[in-house]
Amino acid sequence: MTHDSARIQGAAARPTGETKDRKRRGRVSGRVRALLAGGLVLGVGATVTLAAWNDSEFATATFQAGTFNLQGSTDGTAFSDHASGPGAPLGFSVNASALSPGDVVYAPYAVRLGANTTSPATVTVTAPSTSGTVSGLSYSLIQPGAFGCNATTTGTVLVPAATPVGSVPGTVTFELAPGTPTTSSGAAVNLCFVVTAGAGLTQSQSGSATWQLQAASH
C-alpha cells in the first residue's frame, strides 16, 4: 500500500464534517425528545397530584300541619262546635212554632275561629236543608257589628229579605280571622237571621231549616 492509498483509506475512515453534524443533530434531537417526554410525564404527574377542595352545605325544614276549628254561639258568649246537623238551635225572639201570616221572628248567631287555629277562613252560607213544609216562609241574613238581632238591627246584608227558606241567592260569603296570637280565639262575626211568615202560610204546617256555614282555610 502506498502512502496515497493510506491517506485515502484514512480519509474514508475518518468521519467528515457532514457526518459529525448529523450525529450531533441526532444526539440533540434525542435529548429534546427526552426532555419533551420528561415534560409530558411531569405534566401528567402535575395533573394527578392536583387536589380539588370540596365542601357541602345542608338545609333542613320540618313540616307540620296547622289546626283549624270553627265554633258557633247562640248567645254570643259560649262558643262550641256544631260540626254536623241539626246544629245549634236558633233562639228566635218569638215562638216560631206558632206563626201566623205577617209574623217576623229574629235569631242571633255568632261564629269564630277557635284557639290554636292557624289560618284565616272564608265562610260560605249554603242553602238551608229543609224538612217538613216551609212554604210561605222567607228569610234574610244580616251581619251586624255587635251580637243581637231584632227589628232595628242593621249591618251588611248577606241574604236579602224575601229569600225563600231553602235557598241562597248566589254565593254568600264572609271572612274570619284567627286569633292574635293564634293560641287565642279569633274575633267573632255576628249574624242575624230574620224569618218572615208570608200570606201563603198554611195552618198547622210544620217544617225546619238547617243552615250550614262552611268554612275553608286559605
Residue with cell 392536583: 50
Residue with cell 377542595: 53
- CB-based contact 178:120 (threshold 8 Å): yes
Look at 92 and 113; give whichever has higher pLDDT. Answer: 113
Tell me the pLDDT band of 45, cut-offs 50, 70 and 90. very low
Give the whole-number percent of the chain exceeding pLDDT 90.
49
Look at 19 and 193; give whichever has higher pLDDT. Answer: 193
Name the CA dihedral angle for 177, 182, 187, 188, rounded to a multiple of 10 degrees: 80
Domain residue extents for the chain:
3-49, 70-217
- The helix or strand, by DSSP H or E, that contains position 72, with its residue range, turns out to be strand 70-73
Tell me the pLDDT band of 204, cut-offs 50, 70 and 90. confident
Q: How many CB atoms lie within 10 A of CB 115?
A: 17
Q: What is the reported pLDDT for 44?
A: 44
Mean pLDDT in the chain?
80
The mean pLDDT of 12-16, rounded to a whole number, is 53
Q: What is the reported pLDDT for 172?
A: 95
Q: What is the pLDDT of residues 50-109, one digit of tens each?
A: 566 777 677 766 676 778 899 999 999 999 988 776 777 786 755 677 899 999 999 999
Whether the pLDDT of residue 21 is over 90: the answer is no
Domain at 70-217: CATH code: 2.60.40
Q: What is the pLDDT of residues 136-179, one digit of tens each?
A: 999 999 999 999 999 999 999 999 999 999 999 999 999 999 99
Whether the pLDDT of residue 19 is over 90: the answer is no
Q: How far apart are the first and last CA of the chain?
A: 123
Q: What is the reported pLDDT for 41?
A: 43
Distance CA 191, CA 125 (A): 11
The mean pLDDT of 169-196, rounded to a whole number, is 95
